[in-house]
């Protein structure tokens, strides 16, 4: 339902769990309660049930990503040190990896133009601060202003 939003929250550095289709509402509510998570949803029934359990909730009404991010970021600051600190696919915290260790694992141009790289120990994806980093910073600034 909010997969793109989840990806962007991870890019911003927020610990973001995205429920898969097999997870039912009871499991989701239990997890939110146990892990003290904020539940972000458009599901009206889930909102009612979460409120009854006093689970913190953000009700999403928009399908526009910038509007969704604005709803989240109006109450929470993005720590620039955590931007791009999590895997956008699985939420694992990224680890820095030696430049020489990625030489044949990233495009040659990327290797030439970057000094620092990070990897996800869970899904083996390699990250670097390319043009996407500037786009993320621009999106944060646009939404915050």
Q: Is 60 a residue whose pLDDT tops 80? A: yes
The string over 70-88, giving b where at least 16 C-beta atoms fall within 10 Å of a residue's C-beta and e elsewhere, is ebbbeeeebeeeebbbbbb
Same domain, 60 and 7: yes
> Does 64 lie in the same domain as 19?
yes
One domain for residues 139 and 122: no
The enclosing H or E element of 80 equals: none
Residues 57 and 89 in one domain: no
Using the predicted structure, report yes or no on whether residue 1 has a pLDDT greater than 80: no
Section 110-132 average pLDDT: 93
- Same domain flag for 20 and 69: yes
Q: Are residues 97 and 145 in the same domain?
A: no
The domain tally of the chain equals: 2
Q: What is the pLDDT of residues 29-54, one digit of tens each?
A: 999 999 999 999 999 999 999 999 99
CATH number reported for the structural domain that contains residue 37 in this entry = 3.40.50
**DSSP structure class, residue 51:** H
Residues 34 and 91 in one domain: no
Chain-wide mean pLDDT for the chain?
92
């Amino acid at each position: 339902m909010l997969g793109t939003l989840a990806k962007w929250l991870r890019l911003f550095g927020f610990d973001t769990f995205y429920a898969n289709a097999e997870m039912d509402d009871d499991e989701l509510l239990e997890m939110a309660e146990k892990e003290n998570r904020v539940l972000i949803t458009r599901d009206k029934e889930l909102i009612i049930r979460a409120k009854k359990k006093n689970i913190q909730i953000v009700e999403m009404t928009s399908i526009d990503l910038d509007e969704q991010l604005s709803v989240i970021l109006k109450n929470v600051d993005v720590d620039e040190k955590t931007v791009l600190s999590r895997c956008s696919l699985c939420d694992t915290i990224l680890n820095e990896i030696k430049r020489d260790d990625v030489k044949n694992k990233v495009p040659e141009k990327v290797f030439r133009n970057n000094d620092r790289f990070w990897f996800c120990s869970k899904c083996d994806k390699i990250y670097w601060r390319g043009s996407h980093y500037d786009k993320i910073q621009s999106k944060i600034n646009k939404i915050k202003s």
